[in-house]
Structure 1
Amino acid sequence: MSKDKNFAIFRRFDELNMLHLMALQAEILELRELFRDRCRRDDQDNSGSGQEPRMYSKYFHALRESDMTQPPSPETVRKKPPSSQLGLMTALRQRMAEYNALLLQVSQLALIPEPKKSQLSELQGWLRDPKGGKNFLKRFEFWTWRDNDASSYVTMNPPISEGDTFTSFITYRMASIFDRLLGRRFQAGKIVDEEAGLRSYSDSKLGKASNVIAAIVASTLPVLTIFVLNSVNSTTARIGWTVLFTAVFAGILALFSSAKRAELFAATAT
């Protein structure tokens, strides 16, 4: 994983994060109702002990002075919520801080991209490879990367600069073909696992290769269109070939670039 970030894939644990958020949310709702009920009773206090309980909701100094004992720990609150207004407010503060921190962490986690299926399958293949991981994970850890759903994981490898389909194809498909045909023979790329023969190739170089191929196609297609139309005598046939080449151009533009739909329409019309 340290040699090639494409293998730095970790579990999201979405179901556990959601469960903890829901549990904290339920605790906060319960504490909120207990706190409100305690506030109403203190505001209506007729015990003859003076005006102090009635002042708690208007004067925080009186509330702080009402209970000078050590604030309850989170474990104590979970077992038995405090009964005083100050104790309930302190417990709410602790729960809200925990809830907000986890909520922010989960929202940030959702922004981390999921790995490509080819990245995940490569890691899974290495784990099974007798020359690689040799299924070294035992018991519960054995299932860490067994899920084939890429959305269950996050990757530490930042996405490539061009997010179009063709660049992804070059990066994650053609690279493996190149490795089998030429890479290992000419010792190209960086060795990740020498025993398993695992190599890594630079994303920037693969991106450049994608740009070169795209430039060749972009410069060849218009000339090819003119050549075909010039060899056709029928006007109807020329219109048909024009429709075909326009459709091909739009398809290639969608495949070779990350253009938006409006940009595709504008470029095709032009």
Structure 2
Amino acid sequence: MIKDKNFAIFRRFDELNMLHLLALQAEIIELRELFRDQCCRDDQSDSGGGQPETMYSKYFHALRESKASAPRASDASGTRYLSSQLELITALQQRMGEYISKLARLPAPKKPQLAGLQGWLHNQKGGNNFLQGCEVFTWTEDDLSSYITVNPPTAEADIFTEVITDWLASILRRLFGRRFHGGKIVDEEAGLRSCSDTRFSKASNVIAVIVAGILPVLTIFILNSVKRTTVRIGLTLLFATIFAVVLALCTSVKPGEIFAATATFAAVEVVFIGSAISSRTGHG
């Protein structure tokens, strides 16, 4: 490996990494709830000392100077828990530092990814609501920015690709349902399968190419059915605007590429209008 870096290949241990992240996530959720409860208790009390507890949520210096003098809470088994804001926030900083260092650069999931996980968790043949305690609320948020995913979408994914992918997946589910055997089995009892994003991406690219080929011909067909030159020019302006807006909203191309594509699209229409005018003048 030292002599040739091409041989420096190591195991990822995905299952152990995920287990570690799940444990960290559960611990952070519990610490967050304990910290919130402790903040509420401190805000409603005042020991009368030099640094009253009501100042802890408003003045971090007072929190840092506080002493963890209160006795720790314990459960029936005698397990002792953190009980002061300072202890809890210190523990949160440590856990969050480790958690963020692993996941900070990862993107947010797409809506179908989150919906699939939430659906499986509530499915009686799937997760069957197995989570307990405050961990029940781990995946209840609907805001996608609250999550990250270790399986980011393909780099070329855009709104058009996502719409086509969702459309194709929906058609396959409706046509075949449980009889659809494509993809990898995730949970056989729940009927959950994972299909390759690459296949859907290729299918959406094929559809995009077909649409791109049909669109100029369709506009020419419409322009050909209009006899007045002024109306043709107005329609050309309308079609070019719609074309540019669709490119901007539904694709990930740069502004310069949008300008070039729109100019080419408009040029095709202008050439047709010019040919039609020349033809009419010649006949006249």
Please give the TM-score of this superposition, normalised by the length of structure 2. Answer: 0.57
Rounded to whole Å, the distance in 1 between the matches of 2:234 and 2:172 is 38
Deviates more, 1:100-109 or 1:246-255: 100-109
Which structure has the bigger radius of gyration? 1
Q: What is the one-letter code of the residue matched to 1:226? A: I
Rounded to whole Å, the distance in 1 between the matches of 2:246 and 2:107 is 26
Q: Which residue of 1 aligns with 2:161?
A: 167
- Stretches of structure 2 that go unaligned for 5 or more consecutive residues are 1-13, 16-20, 36-59, 69-92, 265-284
Q: What is the one-letter code of the residue matched to 2:224? A: N
- 1:184 is paired with a residue whose SS is helix
Residue among 189, 213, 217 paired with 1:219: 213
Length, aligned pairs only: 198
**2:188 pairs with 1:194:** yes
Rounded to whole Å, the distance in 2 between the matches of 1:214 and 1:180 is 23
Mark the CA change 1:132 to 1:104 in structure 2 (over 3 Å): closer, same or farther: closer
Rounded to whole Å, the distance in 1 between the matches of 2:201 and 2:134 is 38
Residue among 233, 241, 248 paired with 1:254: 248
Mark the CA change 1:190 to 1:228 in structure 2 (over 3 Å): closer, same or farther: same
Query: Could you tell me whether the CA contact under 8 Å between 1:183 and 1:189 is conserved in 2?
Result: no
Bigger relative contact order, structure 1 or 2, given CA contacts below 8 A and separation 6+? Answer: 1
Identity %: 54
- Stretches of structure 1 that go unaligned for 5 or more consecutive residues are 4-8, 20-25, 32-77, 80-98
Rounded to whole Å, the distance in 2 between the matches of 1:216 and 1:228 is 18
Give the Å deviation of 1:173. Answer: 5.0
Rounded to whole Å, the distance in 2 between the matches of 1:140 and 1:186 is 37
Query: Could you tell me whether the CA contact under 8 Å between 1:192 and 1:200 is conserved in 2?
Result: yes
- 2:104 is paired with a residue whose SS is helix
**2:121 pairs with 1:113:** no
Rounded to whole Å, the distance in 2 between the matches of 1:266 and 1:247 is 13
Rounded to whole Å, the distance in 2 between the matches of 1:266 and 1:251 is 13
Q: For residues 67-96 of structure 1, what are the alpha-carbon distances to aligned partners after superposition, in whole Å with 9 as ceiling and x for unaligned?
A: xxxxxxxxxxx98xxxxxxxxxxxxxxxxx
Provide the aligned C-alpha RMSD in A: 3.9
